Every structure is written in C-alpha cells, then in structure tokens.
C-alpha cells in the first residue's frame, strides 16, 4: 500500500503545531516559569527555542523527509547500518513513555472539563469548594486511571483514522479552536483587577536574576524547550516523513516555532493575571505538577462567571493535549506500520493497549508518574535529540544540506552550511552538557568539569561517526 502523505501544506504545519502546542505550553510552562524565577526563565527559554529549538527541529525534519520513514527505518536506511536502527528504537520507547504520563494528565483535564461543563447548568463544580482536596482525590488512583483510559481512547480513535482523515483533519479543527479560545481568555484576563501584577511577574525583565541563576535555569529551560517543541522523541521525524519535497523546511520550522511560542506566552498572559487577580502568588503557593490545577481552580471559584471561564479553559487544554498525544502515539504506530507491515488499525490497537497498562501504572503510582514525567522524559528527549543531530551532521553530512535546501529557495541554501555546523557540533555539545546536568553531574563535580566531560564525550562521538565525505 502506498505510504500516506499530508493533503495540504497547512495540514502539515497545523499537525506539527498541534504536536508542539500542548500540556507543555499550558501546564508545564507556567509551573516551570513559577519554579525558576518568572521572567528570567522566560528569557533563557526563548533564547534556547531560537538557538537550539529551530535548528534542532530542522534536523528532525531533514531526517524524516529524506527517508520517508519513521525514526527506526529512517536512521537505518540513511546510514546503511543496523546499529542506527537500534538507536532509532529509543524513539519508540520515548513515545510510549511520554504517552504513559501525558495521558494521565490529559485524563485529569478531561475530568475537570466534564465537571465544569456539567456545572454550567446547576450547582458549582465540586472542585470550587476545596481545590487542593479535590485534586488530591482525582489525581491518583482508580479515578485517574479511568479518565486516562478515556483520554487514551480518544487519542487512539484519531490515530486510527489515519494521517489525512485523522491527524490532519483533527488538528485542522482543534488548533484554530485553541487559538480563538485562548485569545478570548487572555483578553478577558486583562480586565481582571490586579492583572498588572501577573504581567509584571511574567514579563518584567530583571537581568540580575538571570546573571545570578543562569546555570540553574539552563537545564530546566532546555528541557522545557525540547519538550514543548516535541523534539528528541522522533515525532517531528515521523511527521516530516509524510511530507513532499516541495515545501520549505526552514519556513515551516520557523512558523511552527513562532506559533508554539506564542501559545506559551499567551497562556502565561491568561494564567498569571488570573492567579494574581485572586491574590494567589505562584511562588508562594508552592509548585509542582498539581499547583496549576489547584491555583487556577481556586481563582475560577472566585471569579464572576467562573464556571464558564473554567469550561472554556479546560476545553482549550483538552484540545491542545489531544493534538499532542496523537503525535506521541503515531511514533510507535508508524514504526509497526513501516517496519512490520502491520495494518494501521492493528498497530493502534496494540500500542494503545500497551499504553493503557503503562499509563494505569502511572495513574496509581505518583512516584512512578513523577519519575516518568520529569527525569525520564528529560533524559530521553535530550539524549534522543543529541543522537538525531549527530546523525544529521556526521552521517548525513552533505545529504542533509541538500535536503534542507530542497524547496527552500536561495535563503535556505545560504543558511544550510552554518546550520549543519550548528547541528553537527554546537548543539550536540550543548545537549550532552544538559544531559549531564539532568544526571546531577554538575552538582557533584562542578560546572567546568562537567563542561570538560561534555567536550570529551562529544569529541569521541564526532570521531567515531566521522565519514570521509562529511562536511563538518
């Protein structure tokens, strides 16, 4: 059977934006910002999105479009070596790990959405009375598992319907809805009393906070940038594998990064004014995955028309989460379809069945959930992107330049050599360094020694991968 492709250019962009925009922007971003110094975090994060995120995104696109295969087949075919196929297998593991915790959070959100929607007629949502206690009750255990299965079921249905009729059509409906609802909420939040304090927390730029905390912020900001752009998992390789040669990858990649970052910033413009208007300071109320739910639920309960606003908010989050979860499930599904010729329907049933189990474990065990959502995902994404970019720079070499330039016009051609240098050398070095910080290495041996290890490890990788015809 012929491999599927996107029907339209906009379809691909919206699907990739749909993958990027998700709980990372709406749930993880405000929580990470609050935990890491507010606007200082924002600035470092924006820098990393621009300098690492965009070139990294192009790296994944180049692999996927060149091979027209999902990561395992793509790395094996383009290198002609089976061992690269094994490295590609990590993307399958990453996709399953991501979806296992993501689907649990998606379940929490659907639970809040249903609770708010039902309360539009009738009494206040149950979480208004005691937001902390409510969240404690629904975030782990049978309840969380049930809603996780519901969210996973919806995800599977969309992926089941295929690239054009499922993912493309779904994101074409979901993404505009997210943008309109979120814009409306931001405009409304601006009218709330004390909104200015929220903006100040989020946007006032204080250089001293950055200079004092730069290295502490760097790791979380890099993790957040990769997570939010869906980098390192092979999602973007997979999505680009359904692309034709006529699109400009640099244009599409930049559009995706700009749209994704805008959604993150607009979400901040909703969340922080709302919290501050109700006297809730996110750094004081404590942080962690639940803080946003508890804080916002508390704010909604005090607002005029709070139930309506809550319904709109949780609807945005549900749609954004779904358009990302489908891209996670597509990684292992495309792997089975490409490598084993399994039908899409069987592949979806098998993989969703597996995640039903792994997600249920996360739903019952907060410690496992925390490990998967934090440490494991950070490590898998950082190591994954480093491997993909080393592959682009040292295994694909000139082919990568040709692929990037294809369909990109003269600007694309002139950018491609500096880009290859960045993805082949600078970015892997940076990623290996952040990987070491995720393992806490810098804490035990100090910053400069960690830099030293990153340089040596990268040099060994460069040396090992060097092909005579590589450009860098």
Residues contributing to the site for ligand PHE (CB under 6 A): 19-20, 22-25, 98, 227-228, 230, 233, 235, 324, 327-328
Q: Which is nearer to ligand PHE, 116 or 228 (CB)?
A: 228
Instruction: Pick the closer one to ligand PHE by CB: 209 or 362.
Output: 362
CA end-to-end distance (rounded Å), the chain: 38
Minimum CB distance to ligand PHE smaller for 75 or for 263: 263
What minimum distance in Å lies between the beta carbon of 375 and ligand PHE? 15
Cβ-based neighbours of 212, under 8 Å, separated by 6 or more: none
Task: Name the nearest CA neighbour of 292 among 326, 259, 317.
Answer: 317
Least Å distance, CB 154 to ligand PHE, is: 16
CB of 102 to ligand PHE, least distance (A): 7
Q: Residues near 431 by Cβ (< 8 Å), separated by ≥ 6?
A: 52, 222, 382, 383, 385, 386, 389
Which of 103, 59, 66 lies closest to 384, judged by CA? 59
Which residue's CB is nearer to ligand PHE, number 261 or number 458? 261
Interatomic CA distance for residues 245 and 255, integer angstroms: 18
Closest CB to ligand PHE belongs to which residue? 24
Instruction: Kindly tell me which of 17 and 309 has the beta carbon lying closer to ligand PHE.
Output: 17
Min. distance of Cβ 119 from ligand PHE in angstroms? 27
Closest approach, Cβ 449 to ligand PHE, in A, equals 31
d(CA 56, CA 50): 10
- Token pair for 72: 């395992």
Backbone angles phi, psi at 22, to 5 degrees: -170, -150
For the CB of residue 81, give the shortest distance to ligand PHE in the complex, in Å: 25
Residue pair 101/369 in contact (Cβ under 8 Å)? The answer is yes
Instruction: Report in angstroms how near the CB of residue 70 gets to ligand PHE at its nearest.
Output: 13
Angstrom distance (rounded) from CA 111 to CA 459: 49
The span from the CA of 27 to the CA of 321, in Å, is 10
Nearest-CA neighbor of 266 among 181, 204, 201? Answer: 181
Cα gap 451→189, rounded to integer Å: 43
| Residue number with CB closer to ligand PHE (20 or 362) | 20
Q: Which is nearer to ligand PHE, 178 or 420 (CB)?
A: 178
Closest contact distance (angstroms) between CB of 342 and ligand PHE is 22
Check: CB of residue 223 under 8 Å from CB of residue 51: no
Is 265:289 a contact under the CB 8 Å cutoff? no
Q: Report the residue number, 119 or 238, with the smaller CB distance to ligand PHE.
A: 238
CB of residue 95 to ligand PHE, shortest distance in Å = 7
Which lies closer to ligand PHE via its Cβ, residue 105 or residue 436?
105
- Measured from the CB atom, the residue of 298 and 384 that comes closer to ligand PHE is 384
| Least spacing, CB of residue 355 vs ligand PHE, in Å | 14
Q: How far is the CB of 24 from ligand PHE (least distance, A)?
A: 2
CA distance 339 to 176: 34
3-state DSSP: the chain helix, strand, coil percent, rounded to 5? 80, 0, 20
71-106: burial string, b at 16+ Cβ within 10 Å, e else: bbbbbbbbbeeeebbebbbbbbebbbbbbbbbbbbb
Q: Give the ranges where 49-81 is alpha helix by DSSP (H).
A: 54-67, 71-79
Identify which of residues 23 and 292 has a Cβ nearer to ligand PHE in the complex: 23
Query: What length does the chain have?
Result: 472
């Amino acid at each position: 059977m012929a491999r599927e492709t996107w029907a339209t250019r906009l379809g691909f962009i919206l699907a990739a934006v749909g993958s990027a925009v998700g709980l990372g922007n709406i749930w993880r971003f405000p929580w990470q910002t609050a935990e890491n110094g507010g606007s200082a975090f924002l600035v470092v994060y924006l820098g990393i999105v621009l300098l690492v995120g965009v070139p990294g995104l192009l790296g994944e696109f180049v692999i996927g479009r060149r091979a027209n295969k999902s990561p395992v087949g793509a790395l094996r075919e383009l290198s002609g070596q089976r061992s690269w196929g094994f490295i590609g297998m990590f993307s399958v593991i990453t996709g399953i790990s991501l979806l296992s915790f993501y689907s649990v959070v998606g379940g929490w959100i659907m639970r809040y959405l249903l609770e708010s929607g039902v309360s539009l007629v009738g009494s206040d949502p149950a979480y208004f009375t005691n937001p902390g206690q409510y969240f404690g009750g629904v975030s782990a255990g049978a309840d969380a598992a049930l809603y996780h299965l519901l969210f996973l079921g919806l995800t599977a249905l969309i992926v089941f319907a295929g690239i054009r009729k499922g993912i493309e059509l779904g994101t074409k409906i979901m993404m505009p809805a997210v943008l309109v609802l979120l814009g409306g909420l931001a405009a409304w939040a601006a009218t709330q009393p004390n909104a200015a304090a929220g903006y100040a927390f989020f946007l006032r730029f204080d250089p001293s906070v950055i200079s004092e905390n730069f290295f502490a912020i760097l790791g979380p900001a890099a993790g957040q940038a990769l997570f939010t752009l869906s980098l390192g998992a092979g999602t973007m390789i997979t999505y680009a594998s359904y692309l034709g040669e006529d699109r400009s990858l640099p244009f599409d990649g930049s559009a995706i990064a700009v749209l994704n970052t805008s959604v993150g910033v607009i979400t901040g413009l909703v969340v922080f004014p709302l919290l501050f208007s109700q006297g809730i300071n996110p750094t004081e109320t404590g942080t962690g995955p639940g803080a946003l739910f508890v804080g916002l639920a508390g704010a909604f309960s005090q607002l005029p028309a709070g139930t309506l606003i809550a319904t709109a908010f949780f609807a945005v989050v549900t749609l954004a989460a779904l358009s990302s979860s489908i891209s996670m499930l597509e990684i292992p599904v495309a792997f089975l379809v490409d490598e084993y010729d399994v039908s899409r329907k069987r592949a979806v049933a098998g993989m969703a069945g597996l995640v039903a189990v792994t997600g249920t474990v996360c739903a019952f065990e907060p410690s496992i959930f925390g490990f998967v959502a934090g440490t494991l995902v950070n490590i898998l994404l950082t190591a994954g992107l480093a491997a993909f970019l080393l592959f682009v720079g040292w295994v694909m070499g000139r082919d990568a330049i040709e692929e990037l330039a294809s369909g990109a016009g003269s600007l694309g051609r002139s950018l491609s050599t500096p880009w290859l240098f960045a993805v082949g050398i600078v970015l892997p070095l940076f990623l290996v360094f952040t990987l070491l910080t995720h393992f806490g290495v810098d804490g035990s041996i100090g910053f400069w020694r960690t830099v030293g290890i990153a340089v040596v490890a990268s040099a060994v990788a460069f040396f090992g991968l060097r092909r005579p015809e590589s450009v860098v």
